[in-house]
Amino acid sequence: MKPARIEKKFQMPVSWSDIPFGEQYRQALENQLRPWWPKMFGFHLLKLGHLSTEIQTKECMISHQFNVGNNDPRFNLIAEPAALPFLAKSIDACLMSHCLAYSHDPHWVMREIDRVLMDDGWLIISGFNPFSLAGIAKLVPILRKQQPYCSRFFPSVRVFDWLSLLNYEVLYHRNCQVIPWMGADKRINKNMGGIGVLSVIVARKRTYPLTPTPLKFKQPKLKIGSALGAAKEISKGDHVMK
């Protein structure tokens, strides 16, 4: 397995339209997240990165929704994903649309997001599935320097492992958009999610251990005879002291 942190820097596309079939990907992602937005409450929704900015979130119950990233006038705040200028536990929900795919140090980005998220806060992650048509195209040398194949394709199980280490509970996962150039409403894209190009994860930050290991307290067994003998000795001692 390749290390998560590498020296190579990645340039995230400014818009979904800069990615082949990007509009289909965006619509598929919005369809997957639509049932989840009404379940999220709080004060602040952070949309991190260029691609997150274009995701429709008007159905989210969180009123203050703002964009954070670098080198884009659409952002409400200019900042690096690995160095967010927020207090710890100040954000209620965070949308990371393909941020890990274009990060040279995804571990650090995950830790920074975990720092600013409140307890029981929501984390939405999307990325590219390596076990898909896009994953096959990534193997073609001529395509490796083009979008989106120049980015990093992390298997879902690897992202699950990162979330588990940070004590997040995965509430939903779906691979969608099997055929990139078809609409999200097509039957093959709706019913064959396992090999879909897009990987969508909805997780929640937990404050209790997800895999508790109960401690076994072994009490020394005291025989009745020994207990009575000890009581008599204590009684004699009290009598002598008196």
Structure tokens given for 213: 């290991």
Q: At what angle do helices 156-165 and 106-116 cross, to 10 degrees?
A: 50
* Mean pLDDT in residue range 177-203: 77
Q: Could you read off the pLDDT of 31-54 as tens digits, one per residue?
A: 999 999 999 999 999 999 999 999
Between 180 and 66, the higher pLDDT residue: 66
Between 61 and 218, the higher pLDDT residue: 61
* Mean pLDDT in residue range 97-116: 95
Within 10 Å of residue 33's Cβ, how many Cβ atoms? 21
Given this model, what pLDDT does residue 227 score? 45
| Predicted TM-score (pTM) of this structure | 0.81
Per-domain residue ranges of the chain: 16-205
Q: Decide: helix, strand or coil at residue 163.
A: helix
Q: Which of 11-15, 85-89, 170-174, 225-229 has the lowest mean pLDDT?
A: 225-229
Given this model, what pLDDT does residue 11 score? 86
Q: Could you read off the pLDDT of 122-161 as tens digits, one per residue?
A: 999 999 999 988 889 999 988 988 999 999 999 999 999 9
232 Cβ neighbours under 8 A, 6+ residues apart: none
Given this model, what pLDDT does residue 7 score? 77
The answer regarding whether domain 16-205 maps to CATH 1.10.287.610 reads no
The Cα 120–Cα 92 span in angstroms is 8
